[in-house]
Protein backbone atom coordinates (compact mmCIF):
# COMPACT_ATOMS: atom_id res chain seq x y z
CA UNK A 1 0.00 0.00 0.00
CA UNK A 2 1.27 3.49 -0.86
CA UNK A 3 2.10 5.66 2.13
CA UNK A 4 0.88 9.24 2.55
CA UNK A 5 4.36 10.67 2.00
CA UNK A 6 4.85 8.67 -1.20
CA UNK A 7 1.43 9.69 -2.47
CA UNK A 8 2.16 13.35 -1.69
CA UNK A 9 5.49 13.10 -3.51
CA UNK A 10 3.81 11.72 -6.62
CA UNK A 11 1.19 14.46 -6.49
CA UNK A 12 3.85 17.16 -6.21
CA UNK A 13 5.78 15.62 -9.11
CA UNK A 14 2.67 15.56 -11.29
CA UNK A 15 1.87 19.16 -10.42
CA UNK A 16 5.41 20.29 -11.27
CA UNK A 17 5.26 18.40 -14.56
CA UNK A 18 1.99 20.10 -15.48
CA UNK A 19 3.32 23.53 -14.54
CA UNK A 20 6.36 22.83 -16.69
CA UNK A 21 4.15 22.67 -19.76
CA UNK A 22 3.05 26.31 -19.55
CA UNK A 23 5.01 28.36 -16.97
CA UNK A 24 8.24 28.65 -19.04
CA UNK A 25 6.19 29.71 -22.08
CA UNK A 26 4.35 32.34 -20.01
CA UNK A 27 7.65 33.75 -18.74
CA UNK A 28 9.12 33.81 -22.27
CA UNK A 29 6.13 35.62 -23.75
CA UNK A 30 5.95 37.93 -20.73
CA UNK A 31 9.48 39.20 -21.40
CA UNK A 32 8.58 39.85 -25.05
CA UNK A 33 5.46 41.81 -24.09
CA UNK A 34 7.36 43.76 -21.44
CA UNK A 35 9.93 44.88 -24.01
CA UNK A 36 7.22 45.82 -26.50
CA UNK A 37 5.45 47.98 -23.92
CA UNK A 38 8.73 49.55 -22.81
CA UNK A 39 9.57 50.37 -26.44
CA UNK A 40 6.34 52.36 -26.69
CA UNK A 41 7.40 54.53 -23.77
CA UNK A 42 11.17 54.78 -24.14
CA UNK A 43 13.78 54.46 -26.85
CA UNK A 44 15.47 51.24 -25.85
CA UNK A 45 19.17 50.71 -26.57
CA UNK A 46 19.78 48.03 -29.19
CA UNK A 47 21.90 45.93 -26.84
CA UNK A 48 18.85 45.31 -24.65
CA UNK A 49 17.48 42.81 -27.18
CA UNK A 50 20.37 40.31 -27.32
CA UNK A 51 20.98 40.74 -23.59
CA UNK A 52 17.32 40.17 -22.69
CA UNK A 53 17.18 37.17 -25.04
CA UNK A 54 20.18 35.61 -23.32
CA UNK A 55 18.68 36.34 -19.89
CA UNK A 56 15.27 34.85 -20.64
CA UNK A 57 16.93 31.83 -22.28
CA UNK A 58 18.91 31.13 -19.10
CA UNK A 59 15.92 31.72 -16.82
CA UNK A 60 13.58 29.56 -18.90
CA UNK A 61 16.20 26.82 -19.22
CA UNK A 62 16.38 26.78 -15.42
CA UNK A 63 12.58 26.58 -15.24
CA UNK A 64 12.57 23.62 -17.64
CA UNK A 65 15.14 21.80 -15.53
CA UNK A 66 13.19 22.57 -12.36
CA UNK A 67 9.76 21.52 -13.62
CA UNK A 68 10.94 18.76 -15.99
CA UNK A 69 7.77 18.48 -18.06
CA UNK A 70 9.18 15.29 -19.61
CA UNK A 71 9.20 13.46 -16.26
CA UNK A 72 7.54 10.05 -16.35
CA UNK A 73 7.80 9.78 -20.14
CA UNK A 74 9.62 6.85 -21.79
CA UNK A 75 13.02 7.48 -23.33
CA UNK A 76 13.63 8.17 -26.99
CA UNK A 77 14.13 5.19 -29.28
CA UNK A 78 16.39 5.17 -32.32
CA UNK A 79 13.36 5.46 -34.59
CA UNK A 80 12.19 8.51 -32.61
CA UNK A 81 15.52 10.22 -33.19
CA UNK A 82 15.43 9.39 -36.90
CA UNK A 83 11.86 10.65 -37.34
CA UNK A 84 12.53 13.78 -35.29
CA UNK A 85 15.69 14.68 -37.19
CA UNK A 86 14.02 14.05 -40.56
CA UNK A 87 11.04 16.22 -39.59
CA UNK A 88 13.36 18.93 -38.28
CA UNK A 89 15.31 19.09 -41.54
CA UNK A 90 12.06 19.19 -43.54
CA UNK A 91 10.71 22.15 -41.56
CA UNK A 92 14.05 23.97 -41.79
CA UNK A 93 13.94 23.64 -45.59
CA UNK A 94 10.31 24.83 -45.70
CA UNK A 95 11.24 27.81 -43.51
CA UNK A 96 14.42 28.87 -45.27
CA UNK A 97 13.90 28.01 -48.95
CA UNK A 98 11.32 30.72 -49.87
CA UNK A 99 13.69 33.45 -48.64
CA UNK A 100 16.92 32.31 -50.23
CA UNK A 101 18.61 34.37 -52.97
CA UNK A 102 18.44 31.19 -55.09
CA UNK A 103 14.63 31.13 -54.86
CA UNK A 104 14.55 34.84 -55.67
CA UNK A 105 16.54 34.31 -58.86
CA UNK A 106 14.41 31.38 -60.03
CA UNK A 107 10.98 32.64 -58.95
CA UNK A 108 11.18 36.40 -58.23
CA UNK A 109 7.43 36.92 -58.53
CA UNK A 110 6.64 34.00 -56.24
CA UNK A 111 9.15 35.19 -53.67
CA UNK A 112 7.68 38.71 -53.76
CA UNK A 113 4.20 37.21 -53.22
CA UNK A 114 5.54 35.19 -50.29
CA UNK A 115 7.01 38.25 -48.61
CA UNK A 116 3.97 40.43 -49.26
CA UNK A 117 1.18 38.03 -48.30
CA UNK A 118 2.57 35.06 -46.39
CA UNK A 119 4.55 37.02 -43.79
CA UNK A 120 2.99 39.32 -41.19
CA UNK A 121 1.86 42.05 -41.64
CA UNK A 122 0.14 41.11 -44.92
CA UNK A 123 -0.09 43.51 -47.85
CA UNK A 124 3.42 44.93 -47.67
CA UNK A 125 7.01 43.78 -47.48
CA UNK A 126 8.32 43.01 -43.96
CA UNK A 127 10.68 45.51 -42.39
CA UNK A 128 13.69 43.24 -42.83
CA UNK A 129 13.28 43.15 -46.63
CA UNK A 130 14.61 45.77 -49.03
CA UNK A 131 14.44 44.23 -52.53
CA UNK A 132 17.19 46.57 -53.73
CA UNK A 133 19.79 45.09 -51.36
CA UNK A 134 18.33 41.62 -50.63
CA UNK A 135 19.56 39.42 -48.93
CA UNK A 136 21.23 42.15 -46.87
CA UNK A 137 19.09 43.82 -44.21
CA UNK A 138 18.19 47.51 -44.30
CA UNK A 139 20.70 49.77 -42.57
CA UNK A 140 20.59 49.52 -38.78
CA UNK A 141 17.71 47.02 -38.78
CA UNK A 142 16.94 45.78 -35.22
CA UNK A 143 17.67 42.14 -36.15
CA UNK A 144 21.30 43.10 -36.76
CA UNK A 145 21.59 43.60 -33.00
CA UNK A 146 21.94 39.80 -32.78
CA UNK A 147 24.82 39.59 -35.25
CA UNK A 148 28.27 38.73 -33.84
CA UNK A 149 29.59 41.98 -35.32
CA UNK A 150 27.28 43.98 -33.05
CA UNK A 151 26.36 41.72 -30.14
CA UNK A 152 29.61 39.78 -29.92
CA UNK A 153 29.97 36.05 -30.30
CA UNK A 154 28.92 35.21 -26.74
CA UNK A 155 25.48 36.81 -27.08
CA UNK A 156 25.11 35.61 -30.67
CA UNK A 157 25.79 32.00 -29.65
CA UNK A 158 23.43 32.37 -26.67
CA UNK A 159 20.79 33.52 -29.14
CA UNK A 160 21.36 30.35 -31.17
CA UNK A 161 21.31 28.12 -28.09
CA UNK A 162 18.23 29.83 -26.69
CA UNK A 163 16.40 29.46 -29.99
CA UNK A 164 17.33 25.80 -30.48
CA UNK A 165 17.66 24.47 -26.96
CA UNK A 166 15.16 26.49 -24.94
CA UNK A 167 12.23 28.05 -26.80
CA UNK A 168 11.93 25.05 -29.15
CA UNK A 169 11.48 22.78 -26.12
CA UNK A 170 9.14 25.25 -24.40
CA UNK A 171 6.90 25.60 -27.44
CA UNK A 172 6.51 21.86 -27.93
CA UNK A 173 5.42 21.21 -24.36
CA UNK A 174 3.11 24.23 -24.43
CA UNK A 175 1.47 23.74 -27.84
CA UNK A 176 1.58 19.98 -28.39
CA UNK A 177 1.26 19.23 -24.67
CA UNK A 178 -0.70 21.75 -22.61
CA UNK A 179 -2.73 23.47 -25.34
CA UNK A 180 -3.56 20.29 -27.28
CA UNK A 181 -4.99 18.62 -24.19
CA UNK A 182 -6.73 21.82 -23.09
CA UNK A 183 -8.62 21.87 -26.39
CA UNK A 184 -9.48 18.20 -25.86
CA UNK A 185 -10.77 19.00 -22.37
CA UNK A 186 -8.63 16.32 -20.73
CA UNK A 187 -5.69 16.29 -18.34
CA UNK A 188 -2.20 15.71 -19.63
CA UNK A 189 -1.45 11.97 -19.58
CA UNK A 190 1.25 10.93 -17.13
CA UNK A 191 2.84 8.34 -19.39
CA UNK A 192 0.22 7.08 -21.86
CA UNK A 193 0.16 7.71 -25.59
CA UNK A 194 -1.15 11.02 -26.89
CA UNK A 195 -4.16 10.22 -29.05
CA UNK A 196 -5.33 12.06 -32.16
CA UNK A 197 -8.13 14.60 -31.92
CA UNK A 198 -8.76 16.44 -35.20
CA UNK A 199 -10.25 19.61 -33.71
CA UNK A 200 -7.49 20.00 -31.11
CA UNK A 201 -4.81 19.20 -33.69
CA UNK A 202 -5.92 21.91 -36.12
CA UNK A 203 -6.56 24.52 -33.42
CA UNK A 204 -2.98 24.04 -32.23
CA UNK A 205 -1.67 24.19 -35.81
CA UNK A 206 -3.46 27.50 -36.43
CA UNK A 207 -2.35 29.10 -33.16
CA UNK A 208 1.22 27.91 -33.64
CA UNK A 209 1.24 29.41 -37.13
CA UNK A 210 -0.16 32.74 -35.96
CA UNK A 211 2.51 32.94 -33.26
CA UNK A 212 5.13 33.38 -35.99
CA UNK A 213 5.57 36.26 -38.42
CA UNK A 214 6.08 33.73 -41.24
CA UNK A 215 2.61 32.39 -40.61
CA UNK A 216 2.39 29.94 -43.52
CA UNK A 217 5.74 28.40 -42.62
CA UNK A 218 4.50 28.28 -39.03
CA UNK A 219 1.34 26.45 -40.08
CA UNK A 220 3.33 23.88 -42.05
CA UNK A 221 5.73 23.44 -39.14
CA UNK A 222 2.79 22.93 -36.81
CA UNK A 223 1.43 20.20 -39.08
CA UNK A 224 4.79 18.41 -39.23
CA UNK A 225 5.53 18.63 -35.50
CA UNK A 226 1.96 17.64 -34.66
CA UNK A 227 2.16 14.66 -37.00
CA UNK A 228 5.33 13.52 -35.23
CA UNK A 229 3.52 13.65 -31.88
CA UNK A 230 0.54 11.68 -33.20
CA UNK A 231 2.76 9.16 -34.99
CA UNK A 232 4.83 8.42 -31.88
CA UNK A 233 2.25 9.21 -29.21
CA UNK A 234 4.75 11.42 -27.36
CA UNK A 235 6.06 14.98 -27.35
CA UNK A 236 9.78 14.19 -27.06
CA UNK A 237 10.29 13.24 -30.74
CA UNK A 238 8.66 16.53 -31.76
CA UNK A 239 11.09 18.30 -29.41
CA UNK A 240 13.94 16.65 -31.34
CA UNK A 241 12.38 17.91 -34.59
CA UNK A 242 11.86 21.46 -33.35
CA UNK A 243 15.35 21.69 -31.83
CA UNK A 244 16.84 20.43 -35.10
CA UNK A 245 14.88 23.00 -37.12
CA UNK A 246 15.92 25.94 -34.97
CA UNK A 247 19.54 24.80 -34.84
CA UNK A 248 19.73 24.50 -38.64
CA UNK A 249 17.98 27.85 -39.05
CA UNK A 250 20.42 29.54 -36.68
CA UNK A 251 23.43 28.04 -38.44
CA UNK A 252 21.99 29.23 -41.76
CA UNK A 253 21.61 32.73 -40.31
CA UNK A 254 25.27 32.77 -39.29
CA UNK A 255 26.39 31.42 -42.68
CA UNK A 256 24.19 33.66 -44.85
CA UNK A 257 23.94 36.82 -42.76
CA UNK A 258 20.13 36.81 -43.11
CA UNK A 259 19.46 38.01 -39.57
CA UNK A 260 15.90 38.85 -40.55
CA UNK A 261 15.08 35.28 -39.52
CA UNK A 262 15.93 36.35 -35.95
Rounded-to-10 torsion of CA 244, 112, 109, 98: 0
**Can you give the pLDDT at residue 5?**
46
According to DSSP, residue 201 is labeled H
Spans of all domains in the chain:
74-261
Complete DSSP assignment for 207-219: HHHHTSSSHHHHH
**Can you give the pLDDT at residue 10?**
58
**Can you give the pLDDT at residue 73?**
84
**Can you give the pLDDT at residue 102?**
96
Backbone φ and ψ for 113, nearest 5 degrees, come out as -65, -40
Q: Are 225 and 91 in contact (CB under 8 A)?
A: yes
**Can you give the pLDDT at residue 85?**
99
**Can you give the pLDDT at residue 104?**
95
**Cis geometry, peptide bond prior to residue 135 (ω within 30 degrees of 0):** yes
Q: Determine the Cα angle at 15 with ends 9 and 17, to 5°.
A: 105
Distance CA(38)–CA(242), nearest Å, equals: 30
Q: Are 17 and 71 in contact (CB under 8 A)?
A: yes
Question: Tens of pLDDT along the chain (262 residues)?
Answer: 445 445 455 567 788 999 999 999 999 999 999 999 999 999 999 999 999 999 999 999 999 999 999 988 888 999 999 999 999 999 999 999 999 999 999 999 999 999 999 999 999 999 999 999 999 999 889 999 999 999 999 999 999 999 999 999 999 999 999 999 999 998 877 667 899 999 999 999 999 999 999 999 999 999 999 999 999 999 999 999 999 999 999 999 999 999 999 9
Amino acid sequence: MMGAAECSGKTDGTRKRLLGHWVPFAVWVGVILLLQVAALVWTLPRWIYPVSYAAKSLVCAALLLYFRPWRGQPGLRATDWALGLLAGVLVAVLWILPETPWAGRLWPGLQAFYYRWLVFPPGRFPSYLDPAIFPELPYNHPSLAYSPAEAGWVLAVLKLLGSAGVIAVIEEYFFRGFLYHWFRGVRLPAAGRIVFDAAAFWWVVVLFGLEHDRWLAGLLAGVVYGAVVIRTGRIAPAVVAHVSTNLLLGLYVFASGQYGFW
